[in-house]
Each structure stands twice: as C-alpha cells, then as structure tokens.
C-alpha cells in the first residue's frame, strides 16, 4: 500500500522540500557532484536580485515624489531637458502607474529573494554537511546580509540546539529589535500603497480615462497583495513516499 502523508507548508518550505528531493535523487543516482557550483550560482543570482530590488525602490521613491508634486499642482524643471512636468501630458497618470508597478515589482523581488534563501539553505546544508558548518555562514561570506537578524534568534543555527541560552529579557529585547524592523518595512510598503490610492482617488479626472488609470492602479496593487500573501499563506501538501523513494531514472533526471 502506498504510504501518504499530508501537511501544511508555505511556499518557502515547498521550495526547500523540492530542492532537498533533487539533492537526494542526485546522491541515489551517483551523479557528478555539482552542488558547490550550483550554490555559488544561486548566491550570485540572489545578489543580482537584491540589486534590482534596490533600483526598483529608487524608482518607487522618485515616482511617488513626482506624483505628489503633480497632485499638489507644483511644477519643476525636468533635469536635462527644457521642459517642465506641466508640459508632459498625463504626467500624474504616468507617475501613478509607474509607482504601482514599482510596488508590485518590489513585492515580487522580495518573494523571489526569500525563495532563493530557502533553496540556498537547502543546497548549502548538503555542501556543508561534511564539515558541519552552518550554511548561513557560507552565504554570509559571499554576500552582504543582516546577520543581527540571525543571531537575535533563540536558536541561530537551524537544526542544532543552542549551547548558549539567552535570558528572558534578552529574548524580549531581540524580539522587539527584529519585530520593529519587520513592522517598519511593512508599514512603509503599506504607506506607499495608501499614497498611490489616495492620490489616484483625489487627483485623477472624473472621466473614462481617469477611471481606467484608477482601475489599473487598483489591479496592480491587488496583485501585489497576493504576492505578499504568498510569503505567509500555507496550503496542504500530500507526500507520496513511493515517489520520494523512487530510485530509477525518470524524465527529470540527468542520468542516462
């Protein structure tokens, strides 16, 4: 009889589980070890994603700034040109759509970076298993990271019981430290969304074109909420052990 087991998991855990299954299959089939090269590539790609996220954040800031100016009836000279923002047709509409798209892209980038973290941890755990090194240290050695978030946890090393136990006041302090960081980042994200919707609601013309732009912004913002929800929402997964324990090659294997 096929043994099955159901459990609720988030998208991060799903990515980690699929990666771990690929690593197990690689070992069963005695394929050439490529994990270290894969790990290096994953770390580099995540670094590029983080750089893209920073560029998108700058784009969001500029778009919102220009939208506020246009909304308030201000007029500034566009650098490098002889025109001002008042001379640009539908300038407010363009800024609002650009800001909405920036919010969506930031949300997608954040989700992608977190998935990269899950996959990197799974691969790094396999690569570092022989010397028992914390995989997070491998990642931190190759790309800048906020290590204080890791060491504020009660058990900084995943899967290992801490040998140094912090007092209750320390746990509270570190919890507040990381909690405020999460709250501030989430509040800024929500503030950007609220600003876009408020300016769109009060500043756009009450005609068909204005309502089309408003509906476009709302749709983009709604998509960003779905992407943000993917960070925390969990769905039921069924584990089929007959498939997980399968040793012969299939269409997904590299062996012949």
What is the total count of domains within the chain?
A: 1
pLDDT recorded at residue 23: 78
Per the CB < 8 A criterion, the answer to whether 56 and 109 are in contact is yes
pLDDT recorded at residue 192: 94
Per the CB < 8 A criterion, the answer to whether 71 and 203 are in contact is yes
Per the CB < 8 A criterion, the answer to whether 221 and 196 are in contact is yes
Angle at 200 between CA 198 and CA 204, to 5 degrees: 135
pLDDT recorded at residue 9: 77
Residue range(s) defining the domain that contains residue 61: 8-244
Look at residue 105 and tell me if it is in a domain: yes
pLDDT tens readout for residues 132-175: 677 777 777 777 778 777 777 777 776 666 667 778 888 889 88
pLDDT tens readout for residues 191-220: 999 999 999 999 888 899 889 999 999 999
Look at residue 250 and tell me if it is in a domain: no
Cα distance between residue 42 and residue 54, in whole Å? 19
pLDDT tens readout for residues 76-117: 776 666 677 777 788 889 999 999 999 999 999 999 998 988
pLDDT recorded at residue 109: 94
Look at residue 255 and tell me if it is in a domain: no
The size of the chain, in residues, is 256
Look at residue 110 and tell me if it is in a domain: yes
pLDDT recorded at residue 247: 47
**Cα–Cα nearest to 153, from 133, 177, 131:** 177
H-helix or E-strand containing 4? strand 4-10
Per-residue confidence band for 38, with pLDDT thresholds at 50, 70 and 90: confident
Look at residue 124 and tell me if it is in a domain: yes
Give Cβ neighbours of residue 203 (< 8 Å, ≥ 6 apart). 67, 70, 71, 92
- Give the three-state DSSP class for 240: strand
pLDDT tens readout for residues 178-195: 889 889 999 999 999 999
- Give the three-state DSSP class for 40: helix
pTM of the model: 0.79
Per-residue confidence band for 255, with pLDDT thresholds at 50, 70 and 90: very low
Cα distance between residue 191 and residue 27, in whole Å? 48
How far apart are the two ends of the chain, measured CA to CA in Å?
29
Phi, psi (rounded to 5 degrees) for 240: -105, 105
Per the CB < 8 A criterion, the answer to whether 64 and 196 are in contact is yes
Look at residue 65 and tell me if it is in a domain: yes
Look at residue 1 and tell me if it is in a domain: no
Q: CA distances (Å), 26 to each of 38, 136, 245, in order?
A: 13, 23, 12
**Cα–Cα nearest to 237, from 3, 6, 4:** 6
Residue 250: pLDDT above 60? no
Look at residue 252 and tell me if it is in a domain: no
Cβ atoms within 10 Å, residue 33? 12
Cα distance between residue 187 and residue 155, in whole Å? 27
């Amino acid at each position: 009889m096929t043994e099955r087991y159901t459990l609720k998991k988030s998208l991060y855990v799903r990515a980690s589980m699929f990666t771990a299954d690929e690593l197990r299959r690689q070992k069963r089939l005695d394929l050439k070890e490529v994990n270290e090269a894969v790990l290096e590539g994953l770390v580099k790609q995540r670094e590029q994603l983080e750089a893209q996220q920073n560029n998108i954040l700058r784009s969001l800031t500029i778009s919102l700034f220009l939208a506020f100016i246009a909304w308030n009836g201000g007029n500034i000279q566009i650098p490098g040109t002889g025109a001002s923002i008042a001379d640009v047709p539908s300038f407010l509409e363009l800024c609002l759509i650009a800001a909405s798209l920036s919010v969506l892209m930031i949300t997608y980038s954040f989700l992608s970076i977190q998935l990269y973290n899950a996959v990197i941890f799974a691969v790094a755990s396999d690569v570092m298993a022989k010397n028992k090194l914390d995989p997070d240290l491998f990642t931190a050695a190759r790309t800048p990271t906020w290590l204080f978030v890791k060491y504020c946890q009660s058990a900084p090393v995943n899967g290992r019981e801490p040998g140094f136990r912090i007092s209750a006041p320390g746990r509270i302090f570190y919890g507040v430290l990381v909690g405020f960081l999460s709250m501030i980042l989430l509040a800024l994200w929500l503030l950007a969304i609220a600003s876009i919707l408020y300016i769109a609601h009060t500043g756009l013309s009450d005609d068909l074109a204005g309502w089309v732009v408003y509906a476009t912004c709302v749709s983009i913002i709604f998509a960003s909420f779905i992407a943000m929800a993917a960070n925390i929402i969990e769905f039921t997964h069924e584990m089929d052990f007959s498939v997980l324990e399968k040793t012969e090659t299939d269409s997904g294997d590299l062996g012949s």
